[in-house]
Amino acid sequence: MSALTKDQIADLLESIAQMLELKGENVFKIRAYTNAARAIETYSGDLAKAAGENRLAEISGVGKAIADKLTELIVTGHLMYYENLKAEFPPGIFEMFDLQGIGPKKIKALWEKLNVTTIAELEKACKDGRVAALSGFGKKTSDNILAAIQSRAKHAGRFRLGEIAKDAERMLEELRGLPDVLQACVAGSYRRNKEVVGDLDFIVATNSPAEVSEFFVKHEMVESVIANGATKSSVRLKSGIQADLRVIKNTEFPFALNYFTGSKEHNIIMRQRALARGWTLNEYRLGPLENSKSEPPPPIHEERDLYRALGLDYVEPELREDRGEFAAAEKHTLPDLIEKENLRGTFHNHTTASDGRNTLAEMVEAAQELGLQYLGIADHSKASFQAHGLDADRLLAQVAEIRELNKTFGGDFKIFAGSEVDITKEGALDFPDEVLAQLDYCVVSVHNVFNLTEAEMTKRIIKAIENPYVTMLGHLTGRLLLSREAYQVDHAAVIEAAAATGTIIELNANPRRLDMDWRWWPLAKEKGVKCAINPDAHSTSHLQYLHFGIGIARKGWLTRADVVNTLPLGKIEAVLQAKRNAKK
C-alpha cells in the first residue's frame, strides 16, 4: 500500500476523536487526538522517517500513547485500535458528521434515543416530528438538520477544485510520464478553473490507446471502474470523484482538448463560427462541410490555430464561459490575465495569536520560502471570541512585535501589521479609529448574524467600508462552497460603495470560499475597484491557496494591474495608505 499522507493521518485521528466523543469518553482523551491531528497536519519533518526511528513522541502535541499508535499506522498502514473502535458503530453513522450544524452529542442522542444511524433515517425522523420532540432538539433544530440534509443532496457528486487538484495533477503527471503518451491534459471544468467541478476529464494523445487505458483504470488512486472502452474509460477515484479518460490520435488533440474543455456554451458558439465559414467542427476535427464551396480550413496544430481559423484571438480556458470572450477575442481586447509569478505578497493571514496554527515567525518564514516580499498579518478581533480574537492591547503588542521583527529584515522583506476586524450587526467596527490608525491596514469581515435581509446586510457592510481606515473587505458573502450558502447581499451595491470609498475587495483564495465570486470581478474592475488575493491562511501550508486565488482572478478577467498584491514593496505602501490619506 502507498504511504499515507499527513492529511490522511490527521483525518484518521480526527475520526478517532469523533468516535470517542460518540462514546462519551472524557474530554482530555478526546482533545489528545484532536491536538495530535493538528500537530501532524503542521509537522514539517518526514513522518515515515520519524516513525522508523521511534521519534514521533518528540513532536509537540503528540503524546506517548498516540505516538505508539501512529508508529503502527505509519509502519503497517493499519491501526487495530481504530479498526476495533470503528466496528463498535453502525457504519452509516459517520456520514452524519458531514452535516452542517450537528455534532457528536446530537448524533449520539439520535442514535441512542431514536435509533437513527443513517442520514436517510435522520431525514425521515425530522419529517415525522420525532427529532423536534426529542429533548434538547426542538422544531428549529429539526428544521436546520433537514435543511442541511437537503443542501448535502444538492451538492452530492460535486467537488471543490482545491480538494481534487492533487489527484488531478498527480494523474496528469503520471500520464505524461508514460512512454506511449504524446500529449496529455486535464480538460473540462478543472481546466477552466471552476470553483466546483463535477468530474475530471483527461485527454491523452497516443498511438497505444490500450496501454494508456490500462494504466488509467488500474491506477492506485482508482476505487472502481465504471467503463473501460477502446477510446473512453471512466473510473471512480478513492476521493469520490469520477474521472474520464479519452484516448485519441495526436492530430485530433487540439480538437478534443478544445471540445472537452468546454464550456458547453462556449463550444456551441465555436461550432456556429465554423459553420458560418462553411466548416464543420467536432471533438476530432475541423473539416469542410459537405458540398460547401468555401475554402478548406487551414491546418490546425494547437488550440491557438483553431481560434485563429475562426477569426479569434486565443481565449484562455478560464474565460470560456460565453461571458463576453468572443466579442473581446474578435476585437483583440481580451485581458492579459494575471499569473502566479506576478504576486509579491499577500494580506489576511492568521497566526497562533488568534486561530492560526503557526506562529508569526513560522508564517514569515513560509512566505519568504514562497518568494513573497511581504506578508500581511490580520488576526481576528475580539468579537470573534471563538477564534481567540485579539483585544486592543494584544493587537498593539503584536504591532510592536512586528515593527521589531521588520528591523531584522534589512528592507528585503516586510510584515504589514493589520487586523481582520469584525463588522458588528449594525455595521460598526470592533476597534475604534484610534486603534485602527496604528495599523498598516485593516480587513473587515462579517463573522456572525448571517440571517439579515439583503437590504440590512448590504447596509451593514457599506457602513463598515465607509470608515477611512478600512483598507479591504474580506470574504464578501461568507459562503462555504458546498456547505454553507452565501448570506444575502447586494453585490453590485457593495461594489459601487467600494469604488466610491476606495476600498479594496478581497478575493479570498481559500478553496472553500473563493469569495468574492469570479462572476462579479468584471463589474468590480469596470468600476475601478481593486482586488487583493488573500489566502486567509490559518497555517503555513495555507499560503499555497494563493494558487487557487490566481485561478479565480483569471476567471474574473483580472490582470496584474487589477490586483494590488502584485505591487512590490515600495509601491504597495501608498495603496494601503491611500484611503485614510484622502480623508485627511
- Positions touching ligand DGT (CB under 6 A) are 188-189, 194, 197-199, 201, 259-260, 262-264, 267-268
Minimum distance from CB of 198 to ligand DGT (Å)?
A: 3
What contacts 349, CB < 8 A, 6 or more positions away? 356, 363, 375, 376, 377, 378, 534, 535, 536, 537, 542, 543
Residue 268's binding partner, choosing from Ca ion, ligand DGT, Zn ion, none, with beta-carbon cut-off 5 to 8 A by kind? Answer: ligand DGT
Q: What SS3 class is residue 135? A: coil
Q: Which three cell numbers stand for residue 29?
A: 482523551
**Distance from first CA to last CA of the chain, Å, rounded?**
65
Q: Which is nearer to ligand DGT, 264 or 519 (CB)?
A: 264
Minimum distance from CB of 197 to ligand DGT (Å)?
A: 4
Residues 287 and 172: their CA atoms lie apart, in Å, by 30
Minimum distance from CB of 188 to ligand DGT (Å)?
A: 3
Minimum distance from CB of 135 to ligand DGT (Å)?
A: 43
What contacts 525, CB < 8 A, 6 or more positions away? 531, 556, 557, 558, 562
Interacting span for Zn ion (CB under 5 A) from 38-46, 255-263, 298-306, 438-446 = 438-446
Minimum distance from CB of 191 to ligand DGT (Å)?
A: 8
Pairing of β 531-534 and β 504-508: parallel
Minimum distance from CB of 379 to Zn ion (Å)?
A: 10
Residue 226's binding partner, choosing from Zn ion, Ca ion, ligand DGT, none, with beta-carbon cut-off 5 to 8 A by kind? Answer: none
Q: Which three cell numbers stand for residue 292?
A: 460547401
Which residue type sits at 232?
A: K
Which residue type sits at 491?
A: H
Q: Does 445 bind Zn ion (CB under 5 A)?
A: yes
Q: Which is nearer to ligand DGT, 106 or 266 (CB)?
A: 266
Using CB under 5 A, pick the residue from 188, 297, 376, 478 that binds Ca ion. 188
Q: 266: exposed, middle or buried (C-beta count within 10 Å: 0-12, 13-18, 19+)?
A: buried
Using CB under 5 A, pick the residue from 21, 123, 244, 420 that binds Ca ion. 244
Size of site (CB under 5 A) for Ca ion: 5
For CA atoms 370, 375, 376, 381, give the dihedral sign: positive
Strand ranges of the sheet holding 345-346, from the earlier edge strand across to the other edge: 345-346, 374-377, 414-417
Q: Which is nearer to ligand DGT, 315 or 436 (CB)?
A: 315
Minimum distance from CB of 276 to ligand DGT (Å)?
A: 16
Q: Which is nearer to Zn ion, 349 or 445 (CB)?
A: 445
Residue 445's binding partner, choosing from Ca ion, Zn ion, ligand DGT, none, with beta-carbon cut-off 5 to 8 A by kind? Answer: Zn ion
Q: Does 501 bind Zn ion (CB under 5 A)?
A: no
Binding residues (CB under 5 A) for Zn ion: these are: 445
